[in-house]
Structure 1
């Protein structure tokens, strides 16, 4: 009996990458005689012809289906979870729709899965693209690993394979802000990484600008690290020591050298410094409070407008 591998592809304005992705995934499974695949495109409310391109493929291949969102839900994370909740395979692969991660790696993922690994992820040994982007991603992954309260693999994105059991565990995590690569590490199980070179985008333009990348990085850090709160406590402790030393110094100076002039500029500098430290502390606390606010509202992480396939069609308002 053939095993099924579900390929989840989150897309947004990727009309020129839909067919190449399908062709490359199909070529991989032509070599894997014991496996079949289902290809799930999850469209985050594209404004181009992305859905039309997917529909053309669905017409002649029943292994392909599309999930369209009711609106744009921001990052690819809600799309990942929507795909996961609709995947039926014995294993699930998540790969970005821009084809910067090579679909040909899926064959290597499956081999490791056959060896008993329940999570197989890609490690970006080298990535193409602009120097600033490469440096930024390298810096983030190292900062994230250092700050996180769990062991996060370096240079590992969402691209990878997870066993059905792992998929079911992740589906049970009812978090509003889903940071998939962090949750994949958190659930544990037997994991291994495979190094590869991440290509530059061949078609279209990136839908993730610099500020969106910063927001995404901040989400990962605040969801998997208590370090910023610990820094507030540490900073407060040292500021208290410095303040205490300053008080003792000025008291002694008053008795030992009563004629010593006192500087107005020093007072201004201290007020500005302490005010900035307090605002920074409030900003960090605010990040955690905002995430608590999002979680307690219990709004769905996404709303599906339509599921398009040869086998079934679900419309209007499926939520999670």
Structure 2
């Protein structure tokens, strides 16, 4: 079962939930029991009765799925989307959004770095401001040194290279209106980078400061995954690397023309002079080869994005949906 990127249709007789809470699950077994308890309590304190809790099992190798199915037996609000394999956090989140039926959709990570109790502040801000999106921002980036520096570099590089600006300390947690989520799902991007897609979509978006604690246990976002996501983000939302390649090509060509002119004049004025020797020739050859390989690599990244987009494969495959 592979749903389209459009929003799910709701039967006429059914009443759309007031709120959908969407989260992804990957190696999350240790957090789920507390997350469910705190989320249900936060929803109750917000005075919301008609809601749904959507968990997207992104091919988690632990017992998260079994734990969720047991919790579902005692709480009918819980729904589990069981993906056929690990598709990645961003695609799993899109799966959850495509199944969410709520008038408002609250996205939150289940690792308890941001407590579900913050829900009330998001709901109040959305109501008081009339915005379509209220997203969380942390005053100071938390986590280990590598994680803090890596996150800061990631957003700094993305914002420098992209026409879409994303707040550098933005969090995953946000509440969104139905019309905004429908617009987001309509984009149809196969090269998925939610951070850029969410801000490219427009609408009125405001940020609120949210307290974020340090995750218990190691983060599942390794340096390799973060770097891969950066490549995905930049090549999906920016043509700056291609423009840079063009600039380098023109600069190298100009240098070659000037150098050739100088050597030619030198040979005419001083016929007995010996031109650049073997060492210089090899250095130029190696340097040009490096430039060519780099240029081809950057162009190859964009061609790969075109290839992925034209394949038109589903972003995720749902093995089973426990409604």
TM-score, length basis structure 2: 0.90
Q: Give the distance between the partners of 1:230 and 1:125, measured in 2 at CA.
A: 34
Q: Give the distance between the partners of 1:112 and 1:127, measured in 2 at CA.
A: 22
The offset of 1:209, in angstroms, is 2.0
- One of 207, 220, 235 as aligned partner of 2:248: 235
- One of 105, 112, 136 as aligned partner of 2:118: 105
Q: Which secondary structure state, in structure 2, belongs to the residue aligned with residue 200 of structure 1?
A: coil
Aligned length: 307
Q: Give the distance between the partners of 2:17 and 2:144, measured in 1 at CA.
A: 39
The aligned runs of 1:124-203 (5 Å cut-off) are 124-202=138-216
Does residue 118 of structure 1 match 2:118? no
CA contact (8 A) 1:156 1:181 kept: no
TM-score, length basis structure 1: 0.91
Does residue 259 of structure 1 match 2:279? no
Q: Give the distance between the partners of 2:54 and 2:114, measured in 1 at CA.
A: 16
CA deviation vs aligned residue, 1:109-135 (integer Å, no higher than 9, x gap):
211210201011112322322101101
1:250 aligned partner = 263
The offset of 1:39, in angstroms, is 1.1
CA contact (8 A) 2:17 2:52 kept: no
1:8 aligned partner = 22
Q: Which secondary structure state, in structure 1, belongs to the residue aligned with residue 21 of structure 2?
A: strand
Q: Which secondary structure state, in structure 2, belongs to the residue aligned with residue 300 of structure 1?
A: coil
Q: Give the distance between the partners of 1:187 and 1:90, measured in 2 at CA.
A: 18
Q: Give the distance between the partners of 2:29 and 2:92, measured in 1 at CA.
A: 17
Q: Give the distance between the partners of 2:114 and 2:295, measured in 1 at CA.
A: 38
1:315 aligned partner = none
Q: Give the distance between the partners of 2:267 and 2:115, measured in 1 at CA.
A: 72
Deviating 4+ runs (over 4 angstroms): none
Q: Which secondary structure state, in structure 2, belongs to the residue aligned with residue 47 of structure 1?
A: coil
2:303 aligned partner = 289
1:59 aligned partner = 73
The offset of 1:200, in angstroms, is 1.8
CA contact (8 A) 2:43 2:119 kept: no
Q: Give the distance between the partners of 1:82 and 1:34, measured in 2 at CA.
A: 24
CA RMSD of aligned residues (A): 1.8
Q: Give the distance between the partners of 2:293 and 2:121, measured in 1 at CA.
A: 49
Q: Relative to structure 2, which stretch is displaced further, 299-308 or 192-201? A: 192-201
1:38 aligned partner = 52
Q: Which has the higher strand share?
A: 1
Structure 1: unaligned runs, 5 residues or longer: 310-320
1:312 aligned partner = none
- One of 276, 280, 293 as aligned partner of 2:290: 276
The offset of 1:296, in angstroms, is 0.7
CA contact (8 A) 1:117 1:191 kept: yes
- One of 88, 95, 109 as aligned partner of 2:108: 95
- Relative distance call for 1:34 and 1:96 in structure 2 (3 A) is closer
CA deviation vs aligned residue, 1:198-256 (integer Å, no higher than 9, x gap):
32212x44322221111111111111111001101111111111111111111111122
- Relative distance call for 1:63 and 1:69 in structure 2 (3 A) is same
1:86 aligned partner = 99
The offset of 1:70, in angstroms, is 1.0
Q: Give the distance between the partners of 1:3 and 1:107, measured in 2 at CA.
A: 17
Q: Which secondary structure state, in structure 1, belongs to the residue aligned with residue 173 of structure 2?
A: strand
